[in-house]
Amino acid sequence: MSACHESIRLLTSTRTNSILGIRMSTRIPILVLGATGYIGGSVLARLLAHSDRDEFDITALVRSPRNAARLDSFGITTVIGTLEEAGKLEVLASQAHVVFSMADAKNLRAIQAILRGLRKRREDTGDLPLLIHNSGTACLNDDARGMYSSDVIYDDMKPEQIEALPSSQPHRQVDMAIVEADQRGYLRSYIILPSSVYGIVSGPLVNARVQNPYARLMPHFIRCALDRGQVGMVGNGVSTWNNVEIGELTDLYMILLETLLAEPEKAGHGSEGYYFAENGEHTWCELSRAIGVALRQLGISKNIEPTSLNEEEVAKYGGTLEGGYALGTNARCRANRARALGWRPTKTTNDMLDSLKAQSQALIMEQQAKQQMMM
């Protein structure tokens, strides 16, 4: 029996549900929020394929009855609802030993409801629940506007750097509330902060038309280029971000979960529980130019060189992600704490740049299919 499996057996064999007054299932209750999303769906797919899948009692909150019905066929419990239904979120969280929060990194009201539910679980059952939350390195954004590359590099082994970020930074109010809950002792929190995530997802949830297969950031850049007829960038495009491939990001989630179930003291939590996800970095200009090359290879555009967005274009394209100049910021980091857990990503920036042709082709085909449906 594996250490992970033995830890699961010991955890579940003594758990009771004081709310219902009956002994609970000997399976670990896991709540997944964001199950139909790019990252959340990828994590859910890995849970479904996990060697200890039979030990997991998975519940997913989904918005549509159609997706609920499709997910039911995978042997999980679905609840129809939204992050705006605080009461429902609180109850669902109170029933979970592990909560994967991967739906909205900015929704403070939702996370407050989740925290209330986990506090109730702690008080009613004595169980110490685990909250694994997906944030993002947008919290590191500066105001470079594409004009310089910062020398500031954040290290997840130096939480004082992250804790010094003001609450006005993207995601920070949510992350701070989570860490405070950990400090109060009624849960243990683990915050994963992905950098620019790339790659097209495939697998059973995508095949079932449940999961979104595309990332947010790079497809956004591609769609902007298709719309304006040429790739663009904010300022001179010399600001720097990190990147991480979606499968390797999901590896980090699984390594963290398995560590928590087998050797929980090995993983830092609370203020020591920030985990960056990165394996390389790029400038916005490099990203834009690689998209330009891809679009020329696909016969869409002749000019591969990016041009600076004017103010109107910044408002149109740059304003969709955390503010008008988010696409020209610096957000540099190193995932040393994640690597200390045994995470070993191998996909590099070159892999990310090489992936842009396939992403561009997929988005072009999707766009053409939509246009045909409208005719």
CA angle (320, 40, 100) in 5-degree steps: 115
> What is the rounded CA–CA span in Å between residue 240 and residue 253?
25
Q: What are phi and psi of 48, to 5 degrees?
A: -65, -30
Residue 96, token pair as written in the block? 């979970």
pLDDT over 80 at 9, yes or no: no
> What is the rounded CA–CA span in Å between residue 83 and residue 89?
7
Residue 64, token pair as written in the block? 């549509």
Task: Please give the residue that has the higher pLDDT: either 3 or 165.
Answer: 165
Check: pTM over 0.75? Answer yes or no: yes
Q: What are phi and psi of 307, to 5 degrees?
A: -115, 155
Query: Hey, how many other C-beta atoms are within 10 angstroms of the C-beta on 27?
Result: 17
Query: Hey, how many other C-beta atoms are within 10 angstroms of the C-beta on 214?
Result: 20
pLDDT at 26: 75
Per-residue pLDDT reduced to its tens digit, 192-214: 999 999 999 999 999 999 999 99
pLDDT over 50 at 284, yes or no: yes
Amino acid type, 70? R
Mean pLDDT to the nearest integer, 19-37: 73
pLDDT at 25: 53
What confidence category does residue 314 fall into, taking pLDDT thresholds of 50, 70 and 90?
Answer: confident
pLDDT at 18: 30
The region of weakest confidence among 63-72, 122-131, 316-325 is: 316-325
pLDDT at 1: 40
Residue 47, token pair as written in the block? 């849970």
Alpha helix (H) ranges present in 159-240?
159-163, 172-184, 204-207, 217-228
Mean pLDDT to the nearest integer, 257-271: 96
What confidence category does residue 318 fall into, taking pLDDT thresholds of 50, 70 and 90?
Answer: low
- CA atoms lying within 13 Å on the CB side of residue 271: 11
Set out the domains of the chain in order of their start, with CATH numbers: 3-141+154-205+244-277 (3.40.50.720), 217-241+280-367 (3.90.25.10)
Per-residue pLDDT reduced to its tens digit, 164-196: 999 999 999 999 999 999 999 999 999 999 999
Alpha helix (H) ranges present in the chain?
3-13, 38-48, 65-72, 86-94, 108-125, 159-163, 172-184, 204-207, 217-228, 246-262, 284-297, 311-317, 336-340, 349-374
pLDDT at 7: 42
Smallest CA-to-CA distance from 227 within 145, 301, 302 is with 301
* DSSP3 helix / strand / coil % (the chain, rounded to 5): 50, 15, 35
pLDDT at 325: 61
Mean pLDDT to the nearest integer, 273-280: 98
Amino acid type, 224? C
pLDDT over 50 at 94, yes or no: yes
Mean pLDDT to the nearest integer, 338-346: 98
Across 299-324, b (16+ Cβ under 10 Å) vs e yields ebbeebebeebeeebbeebbeebbeb
By the 10 Å C-beta count (0-12 exposed, 13-18 middle, 19+ buried), 91 is classed as middle
> What is the rounded CA–CA span in Å between residue 279 and residue 318?
24
